Structure 1
Amino acid sequence: MPDEAVIIAARRTPIATRGRALADLRVEQLVGPVLQVVSADASAALGHGLHPADVVLGNCTGPGGNPARVSALAAGLGPEVTGATVDRQCGSGLAAIIDAATAIGAGDERPRLAGGVESASTAPVRSIDGVTYARAPFAPAGRPDPDMPAAADELARHDGIDRARQDAYAARSHRRARSAHESGRFDAELVPLGSATDDDAIGRAEALLPRLTPLAADGTVTAGTATRISDGAAAVALLPRRAAPGVPGLAIRGHAVVGCDPALPGVGAAPAITAALERAGVGIDQIAAVEIVEAFAAQVLAVLGRLDLADDDPRVCADGGALALGHPWGASGAVSVVRLFSRLVRGGARPGTLGVAAASVGGGMGVAAVVEVVA
């Protein structure tokens, strides 16, 4: 019988604001070292070498040409190790991990490395007939296709989320991240690259929040309640549970990808979490740790409202989220899984403890996964 997939190693780079410490690194240079360290961590946990069959990576704005395959080769994994690249925008890294787990659960029980990578600093300029454009469309002509800040403002109006709540949520994310950084809770998950040894955005916007001007004249979203565009990478090692007896890890118990109104894409994580919980056979009250990609404070607050969770629920992004750390689009969903691994496995949570990772996706989608601590 096919076996469930278990994550036994998880790492990420520091997250750097676009144009700063990681600006000169291409996608394979960002994620290649992470893949190497994750593979070494998994080998140490198993007591023998990990031999991954495939590398599955999320990426949104990279150069094309299958960055996952290029990154596998750059990591020195060998020409026999294949690669596949996933684009679900902000949910790409989580979707890649789900795809790798699904393959294992379907019977192809070879180990895999999965995650995401984004180099916003080196993303190519795109053009049609010589005319450049800022981003690819998230919906076809004639359908709603708002830019993400405008979509966050519209969601804030739709749900009655005022400026004060958004500022309070963003400030809390920075405080939690600063506490985690000062306490060393990020140390074991980080793979330093060159001069980048820590996340560079923590705390930068917190003191400025009350003074920032809204991005739109009629809106409430500011640069402080919108995450920074960033560079970074994250990856995990997955294999069948019976191939790792006694090794602590996270088993993927349920997952879901759902569609929602493309005019309000920020809500997608809520129905995705609900669907993933249903497939796992558990309720939100049984979840000990939640990681939601914090693209905008208004977006996270809208998701929490739909799940009947408080703005300051201590389970949600307990060490801060993307508002404090930054948002490397294709990697952020995988960063959420790395954070769950640190909070639950590295944190010594007892077997059976449950966590959720989720992201809302441009174009009107949501992706979520329920994980359980196993040993």
Structure 2
Amino acid sequence: MRDAVIVDAVRTPIGKRDGALAQVHAADLSAHVLNALVERTGVDPATVDDVMWGCVTQIGDQSSNVARSAVLAAGWPEHVPGVTINRACGSSQQSVDSAAHAVMAGQYDLVVAGGVETMTRIPLGAHRTTGQPYGPSVLARYNGFEFNQGIGAELIAQRWAFSRELLDAYAGRSHANAAAAIDAGVFDDHLVPVEVDGTTFTTDEGLRRGTSVETLARLTPSFKSDGVIHAGNASQISDGAAALLITTTERARELGLTPLARYHSGAVSGADPITMLTGPIPATAKVLGRARLSIEDIGVFEVNEAFAPVPLAWLAETGADPARLNPLGGAIAVGHPLGASGAILMTRLLAQMRRTGSRYGLQTMCEGGGTANATIIELLS
């Protein structure tokens, strides 16, 4: 079987809600990272077999196959196709998995995988205004329970006995790690500035330096009056886009490109859709088994910080080294632009693996409906 390698990965800075990227259309934001890949690698866009693009709320600006709109907005040849993928928060991680699978199967030679979400312009939950998500049979199966990720996070905190102080301490760690990474220039190699109205946007906007248990204690619970989940220990509503170029080692050599990492293994798993956010635990076990690796073999873990209980429950169940978990911060600190987050996590994973020389890295994300992707990559360069 052929291999699949990542030869470059880029992302925009993550904009906060109503922030620097609020006026940028999703297709244009996507086009920005598509063209950044071309400029950095010298690849002729005419040779790209497909653009596989994650996007969650596919209405309004993000409707009508935003992947195809992105290709056209980028000025790429009309024969280059695009497909938009929705696996909830893991959409662009799925786009990376699907691109790698297509390359390994020999159906594609050169693919761009990534995603976008402009949550300022398409608010979270906007899809609920146009119909009935889930459908009557699903709702009946779960006794009419209204699926809600915030309530799922509360249930996880209750099940694992996580106190608010513990969750808030984790949130503070996320901000501290992100601040240290920004100050050290860890993101500089893959971050593509965006110019908006004459101002160049270069840094993730959501970071709040000095966040602590004490500062977060002032916030009111968001989902239950006596709950532990609030805006400060949950991911931020954000805007952003990211893209990776995936090919084979042989094709990379022909193009004069140096692979950064090899796609090693991938898995997807389902879990209870009411708790909803525990999927990364079985997905991690599944991908490690498929890869024939142990948790100790992995040098860096990126577990999406949808809510603080998610990585903490994952940590408790996997026994992973806490120091290897989200060392550059995460969505609590810098945001979670849904359809882009999987690809953004992959840029972070690559950055930390290259920084530390870690051979293997594992990325996993909880997803609406109770599914989760898990992906292992192997450092090459």
Report the TM-score when normalising by structure 1.
0.91
Q: Which amino acid aligns with 1:190?
A: L
Q: What amino acid is aligned across from residue 307 of structure 1 in structure 2?
A: T
Q: Offset of 1:136 from its aligned partner?
A: 4.2
Tell me, in whole angstroms, the C-alpha distance in 2 between the residues paired with 1:256 and 1:197.
34
Q: Which residue of 2 aligns with 1:69?
A: 68
- Structure-2 change in CA distance of 1:307 and 1:348 (3 Å): closer
Distance in 1 of aligned mates of 2:310 and 2:79: 42
Partner residue, 2:107? 108
CA distance in 2, matches of 1:64, 1:285: 42
In 1, Cα distance between equivalents of 2:76 and 2:2: 25
2:362 to 344, 356, 360: 356
Q: CA deviation at 1:197?
A: 1.5
Displacement of 1:205 in angstroms is: 7.7
1:223 matched to 2:231: yes
Deviation at 1:181, TM superposition (A): 0.7
Alignment of 1:320 with 2:320, yes or no, is no
Aligned to 1:60: 56
Instruction: Go from structure 1 to structure 2 and tell me whether the alpha carbon gap of 1:348 and 1:226 turns closer, same or farther (over 3 Å shift).
Output: closer
Matches within 5 A, 1:14-93: 14-43=13-42, 49=44, 51-62=47-58, 63-93=62-92
Q: State whether residues 50 and 111 of structure 2, in contact with CA within 8 Å, keep that contact through their aligned partners in structure 1.
A: yes
Conserved 8 A contact 1:42-1:237? no
The corresponding residue for 1:271 is: 282
CA distance in 1 between counterparts of 2:2 and 2:236 reads 39
Q: How many residues align?
A: 362
Write the distance in 1 (CA, Å) between the matches of 2:146 and 2:286.
25
> What does residue 213 of structure 1 align with?
220
Question: Aligned pair in 2 of structure 1 residues 369, 22: CA closer, same or farther (>3 Å)?
Answer: same
1:342 to 341, 351, 367: 351
Secondary structure, aligned partner of 1:32: helix
Write the letter of the residue equivalent to 1:199: D
Report the AA paired with residue 174 of structure 1.
H
For structure 2, which runs of at least 5 residues remain unmatched after alignment? Answer: none
Q: Could you tell me how far apart the structure 2 residues matched to 1:309 and 1:281 are?
A: 16
1:367 counterpart residue number = 373
In structure 2, the residue corresponding to 1:282 is in which secondary structure?
Answer: coil
CA contact (8 A) 1:60 1:329 kept: yes
| Cα distance change, pair 205–108 in 1 and its aligned pair in 2 (3 A) | farther
* 1:41-67 alpha-carbon deviations (Å, 9 max, x no partner): 233xxxx64621110010011332111
Query: Percent same amino acid at aligned positions?
Result: 35
Between 1:149-158 and 1:206-215, the stretch displaced more is 206-215
SS state of the match for residue 314, structure 1?
Answer: helix
Q: CA contact under 8 A between 1:145 and 1:363: conserved in structure 2? A: no
SS at match of 1:185: coil
Q: In structure 1, how many angstroms separate the alpha carbons of the residues matched to 2:376 and 2:262?
A: 8
CA shift at 1:235, angstroms?
A: 0.7
1:284 corresponds in structure 2 to 295
Where does residue 168 of structure 1 map in the other structure? 169
Q: 1:58 to 1:251 in 2, by over 3 A?
A: same
Which residue does the alignment assign to 2:138? 140
Distance 1:198 1:242, change over 3 A: same
CA distance in 1, matches of 2:233, 2:207: 13
Provide closer, same or farther for how the CA distance between residues 134 and 308 of structure 1 changes in structure 2, counting only shifts above 3 A. Answer: farther
Name which of 201, 204, 212 aligns with 1:199. 204
**Counterpart-to-counterpart distance in 2, 1:358 and 1:282:** 16
Secondary structure at the aligned position of 1:306 is classed as helix
Q: Distance in 2 between matches of 1:224 and 1:186?
A: 23
Matched-pair contact (CA < 8 Å) for 1:55–1:114: yes
